[in-house]
């Protein structure tokens, strides 16, 4: 089935205030400026793109001069050595890049010169669906067959796939991500074969670039399906360093979990996996903490045949309600653990009430009871928390009094 493209979306793109202002500032009888790439592609799909890119035959210094003279625009030379100027408009930044032609390419290090041929500039791009351009007059330009591919749900490299990948190995992951978002049916055979043949080149990419691209892939609508293909071709292990829990990833995506939790579902079975992924993908401390928290929740759920109301309260207090519910969604339909309807109702009530039960003591309570600041405070709170969890996270004055007594005993001040 062919995708029906929205030509009205192109008019909407041209009518955006920042776009109109930028195109007007760069309009010149001896030059040409067009909207290019993803914003044009997305407009045809009825999506308002967040990132707007222009390509122009004007040199960067001329772009700077014209933009600075135009009302409502600010020009920032963000990559002027590569021909890129960012225009700050009322509805967001717009990147303007002077047309370029490759003279020599070697991975990410290309020797280029400024050009004036939009067709040659299009040939430098990765996929046909990303090489569309739109003139100020509303004319859509397509020199590589991107329009037909977009309508047909095909993601193809421009020209020879092996050459495109040799220019930038990250295009291997981009191919899978773009097919996950725009493709329908089986991926392009020539592109897939080239990606598999170039698998060794993934090892030469920075881990940060691999991380960012892989998380975007996991977030895409067709991400789980393409991860199955990655797994079948051996590319997944190149990325994560381990095998994938494909069913868990599918359930994480179906539950609408964020990319880091999808990564957890796919590749984490224990804390050692979280540590491996942190190092392999240069994850942030926050992302690593999410993976570690998921691993700990998995360990706590392991071996439980049934989760009732009390267990649900304890687990939510121990791991946090969002993490517990996410982990249960990932494990849904697996043999264990089973969870009673009353327990689900308890979790839903917690969610409506603002979260899991809160431990009612703090270090200040022990200090007020005469415990000197220091390690004894931690020992006392730990003892009281263990009792609190064992009792099902009780609340109220009587429970608090009992917990304080337990904390004082744990701190050595009975």
The structure tokens 């191919």 sit at 175
How many CB atoms neighbour CB 106 within 10 A?
Answer: 9
Q: Beta 140-141 vs 306-307: how paired, if at all?
A: unpaired
pLDDT per residue over 328-363, tens digit each?
A: 999 998 988 999 999 999 999 988 887 888 999 999
What backbone phi and psi angles, to 5 degrees, belong to 16?
Answer: -65, 135
Domain boundaries, the chain: 1-153, 303-353, 363-410
Q: Beta 306-307 vs 338-339: how paired, if at all?
A: parallel
- Strand ranges, E, within 136-259: 140-141
pLDDT per residue over 248-258, tens digit each?
A: 999 999 999 99
The pLDDT score that the predictor gives to residue 186 is: 95
Per-residue pLDDT band for 303 (boundaries 50, 70, 90) equals confident
Single pTM value for the model: 0.88
Q: Which of 216, 218, 212 is nearest to 231 (CA)?
A: 218
The pair of structure tokens assigned to 135 is 């003139």
Alpha helices by DSSP H, listed for 234-374, are: 235-240, 246-254, 259-267, 271-281, 285-301, 309-319, 321-331, 341-353, 363-368
pLDDT per residue over 325-334, tens digit each?
A: 999 999 998 9
Of all residues in the chain, what percent carry a pLDDT higher than 70? 97
Q: How far is CA 163 from CA 39, 106, 158, 348, in A?
A: 25, 10, 9, 53
pLDDT, mean of residues 161-167: 95
pLDDT, mean of residues 63-92: 92
pLDDT per residue over 83-122, tens digit each?
A: 999 999 998 999 999 998 766 555 555 556 788 899 999 9
Q: How far is CA 14 from CA 19, 38, 92, 147, 283, in A?
A: 6, 14, 14, 18, 38
Second CATH level (architecture) for the domain 1-153: 2-Layer Sandwich (3.30)
pLDDT per residue over 10-62, tens digit each?
A: 999 999 999 999 999 999 999 999 999 999 999 999 999 989 999 999 999 99
């Amino acid at each position: 089935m062919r995708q029906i493209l929205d030509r009205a979306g192109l008019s909407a793109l041209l009518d955006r205030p920042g776009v109109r202002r930028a195109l007007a500032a760069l309009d010149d009888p001896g030059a040409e400026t067009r909207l290019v790439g993803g914003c044009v592609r997305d407009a045809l799909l009825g999506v308002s793109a967040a990132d707007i890119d222009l390509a122009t035959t004007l040199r960067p210094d001329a772009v700077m001069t014209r933009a600075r003279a135009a009302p409502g625009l600010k020009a920032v030379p963000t990559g002027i050595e590569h021909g890129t100027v960012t225009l700050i408009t009322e509805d967001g930044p717009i990147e303007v890049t002077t047309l370029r032609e490759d003279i020599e390419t070697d991975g990410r290090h290309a020797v280029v010169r400024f050009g004036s041929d939009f067709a040659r500039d299009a040939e430098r791009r990765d996929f046909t669906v990303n090489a569309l351009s739109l003139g100020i007059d509303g004319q859509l330009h397509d020199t590589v067959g991107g329009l037909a591919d977009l309508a047909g749900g095909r993601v193809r490299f421009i020209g020879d796939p092996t050459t495109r990948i040799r220019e930038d190995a990250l295009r291997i992951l981009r191919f899978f991500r773009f097919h996950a978002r725009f493709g329908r049916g089986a991926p392009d055979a020539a592109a897939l074969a080239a990606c598999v043949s170039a698998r060794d080149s993934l090892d030469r990419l920075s881990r940060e670039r691999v991380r960012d691209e892989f998380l975007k892939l996991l977030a895409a609508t067709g991400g789980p399906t393409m991860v199955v293909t990655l797994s079948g071709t051996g590319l997944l292990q190149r990325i994560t360093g381990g095998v994938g829990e494909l069913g868990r990833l599918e359930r994480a995506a179906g539950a609408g979990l964020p990319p880091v939790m999808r990564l957890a579902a796919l590749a984490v079975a224990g804390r050692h996996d979280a540590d491996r992924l942190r190092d392999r993908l240069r994850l942030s401390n926050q992302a690593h903490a999410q993976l570690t928290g998921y691993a700990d929740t998995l360990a706590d759920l392991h071996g439980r045949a049934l989760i009732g109301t009390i267990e649900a309260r304890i687990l939510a207090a121990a791991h946090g309600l969002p993490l517990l519910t996410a982990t249960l969604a990932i494990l849904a339909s697996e043999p264990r653990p089973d969870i009673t309807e009353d327990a689900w109702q308890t979790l839903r009530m917690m969610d409506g009430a603002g979260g899991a039960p809160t431990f009612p003591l703090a270090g200040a309570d022990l200090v007020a009871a005469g415990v000197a600041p220091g390690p004894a405070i931690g020992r006392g709170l730990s003892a009281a928390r263990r009792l609190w969890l064992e009792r099902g996270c009780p609340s109220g004055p009587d429970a608090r009094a009992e917990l304080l007594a337990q904390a004082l005993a744990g701190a050595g001040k009975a």
